[in-house]
Amino acid sequence: MRQDARENRQRILAAADHVFGTHGEAGSTEDVARLAGVGIATVFRHFPTKESLIEAALVRHFTDLHDQTQAAITAPDPTAALHTLIRRMIERGASKLTLASMLSRDAPPAVVTASGQVKAAVDTALRRAQATGSVRPDVGVEELYLLIRGLAQTTAAAPVPAAVLERAVDVILTGFATDSRPATGKTVDSSPTTEAGGARNPAPPDRPAARPRPV
Amino acid sequence: MRQDARENRQRILAAADHVFGTHGEAGSTEDVARLAGVGIATVFRHFPTKESLIEAALVRHFTDLHDQTQAAITAPDPTAALHTLIRRMIERGASKLTLASMLSRDAPPAVVTASGQVKAAVDTALRRAQATGSVRPDVGVEELYLLIRGLAQTTAAAPVPAAVLERAVDVILTGFATDSRPATGKTVDSSPTTEAGGARNPAPPDRPAARPRPV
DNA sequence: CTGTAAACGGAGTCCAGACTTCGTTAAGGA
DNA sequence: TCCTTAACGAAGTCTGGACTCCGTTTACAG
């Protein structure tokens, strides 16, 4: 591949990252081309369809994110590592998770793989933190991921004051910490390979909906 | 207005609620018409543009939601009231908040007003709970709303097992409680938590071919 | 330097979906 | 019951955006 072609490809991916991250899949390919400073034909030469373009941008994003998570995970203190990981994912992962959810119907295998690796990394970090006893044992990656995604998605849609976001993250972290809660003892199995249905692990039918604790 | 026209209007609104709630603003007006069992022209007679249709659906939704929140707020126990409110908003408010965020750029005044009332209600509930001392005082509606929106939005995009959602909500509620404030001060108490599954074999990095949910 | 094929971009084509037109149907008052 | 006209829906028009064609430009091997 020629040098300029390689450069253009990167420019296009970066542009796609921004356009689709901002406008969701409603962003137009033409905008991507304009932002990348190339003709629209060039975009389609590198990525035959709009979908493949989005897919490539997502894979790139998750791969980058995965590299970052690896660094965070290897930190000595598991609890601090988890905190770092969560903050980083919300900051960096914001815009693209929106896209990922848009593709959720028939997510391309490549994207599933890439995002799966990130999820596995979070899973590892969470379990390690739980092993130290500082994180409540009754939650799994699913819950954590749900909260992270929610926050990331929302902040991506409409920018939020840093201070507000920071406090929101703090609320989540606090919620994950072990406190005087009567550990239900059962560690939920939330490995990333969940069956689509929700009937896994017959969770206690009597969820403490009205827990006698404060709040 | 003729009786049948009034009925059709309601049918159209309900259909719009479902279509746009499911597919976001990408849902087509034709789908709405089909689901409502009317011709497409009828839809446009009642609502001159697609945007006005979405707007009307949103206003209806927030108005309904506001009615429900009022009931929750008047409960005797402020803390329990806040909990009920949060759960209800996540359950009921799921799909439409997505739309609301889509319209966020130039949200129609009517929608702003309607959603603002809901927000005010949440604000009231939050302050009352804080007054009892059971909720940490350093967070405001913004943080709460951010978390609620995130959860609602995400669950709307891709259905989540009830048990997982329930635990995620519980995490938020715990995070709002007064006792375990300093999230950063890792509570590394080496209490003999029944950490049997300490290092539960992290999931295999290679996703199985069976397509799990992305992200 | 020069030849050549890889890459490029502007000007299309084509279709999905928002919105209109107009002849038909039926609500509901007299 | 009949008549007026509000309300209806099938069959359009039109525009935005995905994707293609083809003549032009340019990296780089010889």
DSSP string, B23-43: HGGGS-HHHHHHHHTS-HHHH
Angle, nearest 10°, between helix axes A141-157 and A78-102?
Answer: 60
pLDDT bucket at B108, cuts 50 / 70 / 90: confident
Stated in angstroms, how far is B16 CA from D18 C1'? 27
Where do we find the tokens 């003999």? B192
Residues in A closer than 8 angstroms to B213, CB to CB, are 104, 194, 196
Higher pLDDT, A163 or A91: A163
Which pTM value belongs to this model? 0.76
Q: Are B183 and A170 in contact (CB under 8 A)?
A: yes
CA A40 to C1' C11, in angstroms, rounded, equals 12
Tokens of B48: 């001159």
Closest approach of chain B CAs to the CA of A19, in angstroms?
15
The pLDDT value given to residue B176:
93
> Mean pLDDT throughout A65-71?
85
CA angle (A91, A95, A98) in 5-degree steps? 125
Say if CB A196 and CB A144 are below 8 A apart.
Answer: no
**Which residue of chain A has the CA closest to B86?**
A215
Please say whether the beta carbons of A58 and A93 come within 8 A.
no
> Given phi > 0 = left and psi -120 to 50 = alpha, else beta, which region is B206?
beta
Give the model's pLDDT for residue A178.
84
User: From the CA of A182, how many Å to the nearest CA of chain B?
Assistant: 11
- Phi first, then psi, for residue A177 (nearest 5°) are -70, 150
Q: What is the mean pLDDT of residues A28-54?
A: 97
pLDDT digits (tens, 9 = 90+) for B123-147: 999 999 999 999 999 999 999 988 9
- pLDDT higher at B103 or B89: B89
Percent of all residues in chain B with a pLDDT value above 70, rounded to a whole number: 76
Rg (CA), chain A: 20
- Quick one: pLDDT at residue B33? 97
Task: Return the structure tokens found at A195.
Answer: 């069956």
Confirm whether any atom of chain D, the nucleic acid strand, is less than 7 Å from CB of A25: no
Look at residue B190 in the predicted model and tell me its pLDDT.
34
**Length B56 CA → C24 C1' (Å):** 29
Residue A209: its pLDDT value, please? 31
State whether A173 and B160 contact (CB < 8 Å).
Answer: no
> Token pair of B92, please?
């009921």
Q: In sequence order, what are the beta bridge partners of A135?
A: A177
Q: Which residue has the higher pLDDT, B96 or B180?
A: B96
pLDDT at A153: 76
Q: Structural domains in chain B?
A: 1-48 (1.10.10.60), 51-180 (1.10.357.10)
Compare all CA atoms of chain A with the CA of B192 and give the residue at the minimum distance.
Answer: A133
CB B207 within 8 A of CB A112: yes
pLDDT band of residue A55 (cuts 50, 70, 90) is: very high
Is residue B2 over pLDDT 60?
A: yes
pLDDT class of A97 with cuts at 50, 70, 90: low
Give A7-27 pLDDT, tens digit per residue: 999 999 999 999 988 888 889
Q: Which residue of B has its CA nearest to A175?
A: B175
Q: What tokens does A181 get?
A: 């809660």
Predicted pLDDT of residue A94:
59
DSSP A119: H
CA distance linking residue A178 with residue A124, whole number of Å? 18
pLDDT at A15: 96
Residue nearest to nucleotide D21 (CA to C1'): A41
State the average pLDDT over residues A188-202: 36
Residue B34 (CA) to nucleotide D14 (C1'), in angstroms, measures 22
Nearest residue to B136 via CA among B100, B172, B166: B172
* DSSP H or E stretch at residue A129: helix A109-132
Cβ-contact A167, B143 below 8 angstroms: yes
Query: Could you check: is the Cβ of residue B186 within 7 Å of any atom of nucleic acid strand C?
Result: no
- Residue B24: closest C-alpha in chain A: A102
Give me the pLDDT at residue B210, please: 28
What average pLDDT does this structure show over A175-199?
A: 46
Q: Is B76 on the interface with A (CB under 8 A)?
A: no
Would you say residue B160 has pLDDT above 50?
A: yes
C-alpha–C-alpha distance, residues A13 and A61, integer Å: 10
pLDDT in tens, B14-70: 999 999 888 888 899 999 999 999 999 999 999 999 999 999 999 998 898 888 888
A130 in contact with chain B, both atoms CB, cutoff 8 A: yes
Q: Say if residue A149's pLDDT is above 60.
A: yes
Instruction: Please tell me whether any atom of strand D lies within 7 Å of the Cβ of B39.
Output: yes
Is B167:A186 a contact under the CB 8 Å cutoff?
A: no
> How confident is the model at residue A204, as a pLDDT?
34
Whether residue B92 contacts residue B17, with contact meaning beta carbons closer than 8 Å, is answered with no
A60 closest CA partner among A80, A76, A46: A46
Chain mean position to CA A30: 27
* Residue B51 Cβ under 7 A from any strand C atom: yes
pLDDT at A90 over 80: yes
More confidently predicted of B75 and B206 = B75
Reply yes or no on whether the pLDDT at A213 is more than 50. no
DSSP A60-98: HHHHHHHHHHHHHHTSS-HHHHHHHHHHHHHHHHHHHHH
pLDDT of residue A145: 84
